[in-house]
Structure 1
């Protein structure tokens, strides 16, 4: 039989832990986040991975292509910092659910993808800034959201679970969509010139049509991720309206009392 003094310590802690933290993997919130990362991070990673080839296809100089890479790196860092800072301020001041920041980021990323699809002179510079910023911002918000909704007990597992969605999204959107459509357009251009591709010859595509359909699809997938993330916003709005930091502080205090009791 458990002593009543020990029960008084364990019950509050159990209540706090299960206040919102739900079972892993079976929780729909985790699946929503997983799909959001596949669509959002997968799309921005596809753009970053093809940045050099896009620059060549659209007629940019090697110096400009190097600038695109630099812009992505710089704004990737700024996205990580700014998204975390802004979402924290909005959460504290307006009780705005953090997943709503993720929704906004994905909608902004759609603009970057459409700038690639419907290219205008110099548009790739702006697209590099937007895509780099959104790529970094997503990681900052996603992992913070995971820690808040599911707690820190299984955070390392959840961190890796969230991370694995990135290569899955990259494979789907980069290899099966972008790569396939790029090669298809390159073959069309070869056929139009009356040329036949030799064995082992690399396919090269020139013009805005090389990546247009691919990035329209990527923008649509990213938009679907934004719409799905709204479900998470609605499911967690009550949680974020409460004092989530007080809950974590109370949980820590109860755990400290348990440790002190165990020592005696």
Structure 2
């Protein structure tokens, strides 16, 4: 978005709102006709294709990061911005070319001479299955009360929980606290990063650069935590909640670097905060699917996501904002700029205005990390076994 904005409008901040308004809508209108229901079996090389998409997106992120740094060091002309945006747009369409090539390969395979297979009649098998499986009415007679199912007859970890069973479980409460603390503190840092840079005396061009770096490292964090945690879990039975704890403690370091900055530390801070913020998302949602099953995953997914804006609201609006305003009002009063009935812009220079609030945020994030360690202890036996074995058994039965 940044590269396209610079290429189309230049450095005109008012036009950015216009770009945000028309570009996503235009993309939706153009590509809405490509959406269709598809009933296809899994392809043998789909993982290979996924890695192709991943490599393209990874290269795109590296290119944008390089352009962000270069644009901060060198003044780009309008033609240079246009060239950069052209490369970005080309890389965005590379996955489409990969998909077309793969679709052509599948089409060629389907047009080959089909292999004749003997017919198998399954009428008797269906009849036997109907006779052995009890009817829904028979099943309903043995059902227990709703409260007993929610609190007493909970399934084992990894099995399909009902919505109430999952929401009222201790594991979900711990995970919700960790999400509230982790994503809430990181979102607060992201929301205030521009004003933090302004308070520390960075120019507007530098602020744009490290905000872009934060977004790019958000992407790297998602890729890293998703892929590395999966490799460690499959090969070494390394529990995914342990990585969540490590990411939360890493986030504490970034928050403390905002509270106690040194010259140039804002770049390192943006990388740490962006990386840890992105890394938490795949871990949280993967843990939900592993502990509570996939039957009601969409609802539980959104419940976990609810902790993010809730934490951001409490920590940003109720903690960071009032503390900053209090420090800024003190500064204005000391300088004699706070007059009765006058409206002053509460922007002050210095690191002390965010110090207390971000020390509090670091403590909250550390508490979230400690809470996730409790989840590690509770689920250590669960992650010692092969949690994906049941899915392999089901696929073999099918």
Q: Give the alignment's TM-score, normalised by structure 1.
A: 0.88
* Matched residue SS, 2:388: helix
Give the equivalent residue in structure 2 for 1:235.
Answer: 378
> Secondary structure of 1:244's match?
coil
Aligned 8 A contact 1:76 1:135 in 2: yes
> Which residue in the other structure is 1:162 paired with?
304
Rounded to whole Å, the distance in 2 between the matches of 1:205 and 1:42 is 25
Query: Greater relative contact order (Cα 8 A, min sep 6): structure 1 or 2?
Result: 1
Aligned to 2:212: 70
What is the CA distance between 1:201 and its match in structure 2? 2.9
C-alpha displacement of 1:4: 7.3
The question of 1:216 aligning with 2:359 is answered: yes
Report the equivalent of 2:393: 250
How far apart, CA to CA, are the structure 1 residues paired with 2:367 and 2:356? Answer: 17
Deviations 1:55-86 (A, max 9, x none): 00000011110111111111000000001111
Deviation at 1:187, TM superposition (A): 0.5
Distance 2:317 2:257 in 1: 21
Following superposition, the deviation at residue 42 of structure 1 comes to 0.5
The residue that corresponds to 1:105 in the other structure is: 247
The yes-or-no answer on 1:206 pairing with 2:349 is yes
Aligned equivalents of 1:148 and 1:241: distance in 2?
Answer: 13
Aligned residues: 246
1:18 matched to 2:160? The reply is no
Matched, 1:132 2:269: no
Which ranges of structure 2 fall in alignment gaps of 5 or more residues? 1-128, 140-153
CA contact (8 A) 2:338 2:344 kept: no
CA shift for structure 1 position 3:
7.3
**Structure 1 residues 150, 253: CA separation in 2 closer, same or farther (over 3 Å shift)?**
farther
- In structure 1, list runs of 5 or more residues that go unmatched: 11-16, 257-264
**CA distance, structure 1, for counterparts of residue 394 and residue 364 of structure 2:** 39
**1:54 corresponds to which residue?**
196
| Aligned residue among 173, 186, 202 for 1:31 | 173
Hey, what does 1:5 align to over in structure 2? 132
Tell me the alpha carbon deviations over residues 215-244 of structure 1, each in whole angstroms, 9 at most, x when there is no partner: 100000000000010111111111111111
